Amino acid sequence: MAVPSLSLILLFSLLTPTLVYSSSIQDPEPVVQEVHRSINASRRNLGYLSCGTGNPMDDCWRCDPNWEKNRQRLADCAIGFGKNAIGGRDGKIYVVTDSGDDNPVNPKPGTLRHAVIQDEPLWIIFARDMVIQLKEELIMNSFKTIDGRGASVHIAGGPCITIQFVTNIIIHGLHIHDCKQGGNAMAITISNNYMTHHDKVMLLGHSDSFVKDKSMQVTIAFNHFGEGLVQRMPRCRHGYFHVVNNDYTHWEMYAIGGSAAPTINSQGNRFLAPDNRFSKEVTKHEVAPQSEWRNWNWRSEGDLLLNGAYFTPSGAGASSSYAKASSLGARPSSLVGSITMAAGALNCKKGSRC
């Protein structure tokens, strides 16, 4: 499936269960309704399953003790704007056995780089714990899943992952940190991550002048933005951004920023401001005078603002202005702690619930 390419730049330190994306969603309402059903079904399980959290992505697969034998089921667990990404669901399992990256131009079979450049769909897993230090950006091909469950896999100490001019990518359960650059996408879900110790956490959009990004749709849900973070959680350019049910426990400058008139829909998040009285504002309208950014559509709805945190809204207040920035039903902010409690790469053991 060929789609116009837009930009997703990953510049954050994270423990990532899931990053998924596919083509953009024209009508977000079916997505919202389906996630409502998933969340309600997930919450009904809370009293009966010890692994039930109310987080529909986790509860979709974590309660299955045979998850390791049914890995591709993960492709059916996605939420938000990236929910249609199938990754390598329809392909073979590729086992990474070699953590090396000695020859990025002609990668050795068994390495992660060799796996992601193949033309056919692949579900990529890891034979053991490993640290992969890439010599060049990891350029991915379409219809790939990188599934780190069952192993402790770090991509660190060098360039990281670039996603551009491709579609149907799922990245789940990796430790990704000390990254240099990232890549491009169209409809994106970034969820269940635990992010710590980084300055410019997440930049979404190629540049203020790259107007093709105006159709980009991004869901940022069920993440924990933790200690040592400074700014850009995310910073948005153009496009439509649904920031929903995340836990922000630390920032030094600001949490959510943007330029080039993005639409930002913040719902059901918990924002705990730092003690620094000059850093209480959640938002930052970038590279524009107030006379310009006051027309950008940014809203806060049902967010829990603690320790003096405040969100500066702008633009139209009508809900119709946020139709393209609505991808799932927000849960009450009082539930954010339990929803994000297991954010980050999970320590899953084969043959048991995760």
Phi, psi angle pair for 223, to nearest 5°: -100, 155
Q: Does position 31 have pLDDT exceeding 80, yes or no? A: no
Per-position DSSP letters for 193-262, written without gaps between them: -EE-SEEE-EEESS-TT-GGGGG-EEEEES-EE-TTEEE-TTEEESSEEEEES-EE---SS-SEEEESS-
Tell me the one-letter amino acid at 283. Answer: T
Confidence of residue 29 (pLDDT cuts 50, 70, 90): low
The arithmetic mean of pLDDT across residues 223-236, rounded, is 95
Q: Which tokens hold the place of 351?
A: 């043959």
The arithmetic mean of pLDDT across residues 10-37, rounded, is 46
Least confident of 262-266, 267-271, 318-322, 341-345: 318-322
Percent pLDDT > 70 in the chain is 83
pLDDT of 46 reads 37
Beta-carbon contacts of 252 under 8 Å, excluding residues fewer than 6 positions away, are: 229, 230, 231, 274, 276, 279
Q: Is the peptide bond before 30 cis (omega within 30 degrees of 0)?
A: no
pLDDT digits (tens, 9 = 90+) for 240-250: 999 999 999 99
Instruction: Give the residue from 302, 172, 295, 299 showing the smallest Cα distance to 241.
Output: 299
**pTM of the full structure:** 0.70
Domains by residue range for the chain, with CATH: 7-339 (2.160.20.10)
Q: Which tokens hold the place of 49?
A: 């399953």
Per-position DSSP letters for 18-67, written without gaps between them: EEEEESPPS--HHHHHHHHHHHHHHHHTTTT-TT--S-HHHHTTTT-TTG
Strand partners, 132: 155
Task: Report the SS3 class of residue 33.
Answer: helix
In terms of average pLDDT, the best of 28-42, 43-57, 83-97, 310-324 is 83-97
Give the largest CA-CA distance in the chain: 59
- Judge whether 232 counts as a catalytic residue: yes
Q: Does position 162 have pLDDT exceeding 80, yes or no? A: no
Q: Are 121 and 166 in contact (CB under 8 A)?
A: no
Q: Which tokens hold the place of 208?
A: 């203020």
Percent pLDDT > 90 in the chain is 54
CB hemisphere CA count around 241 (13 angstroms): 31
Confidence of residue 158 (pLDDT cuts 50, 70, 90): confident
Of the residues 62, 149, 232, 270, only one is catalytic, namely 232
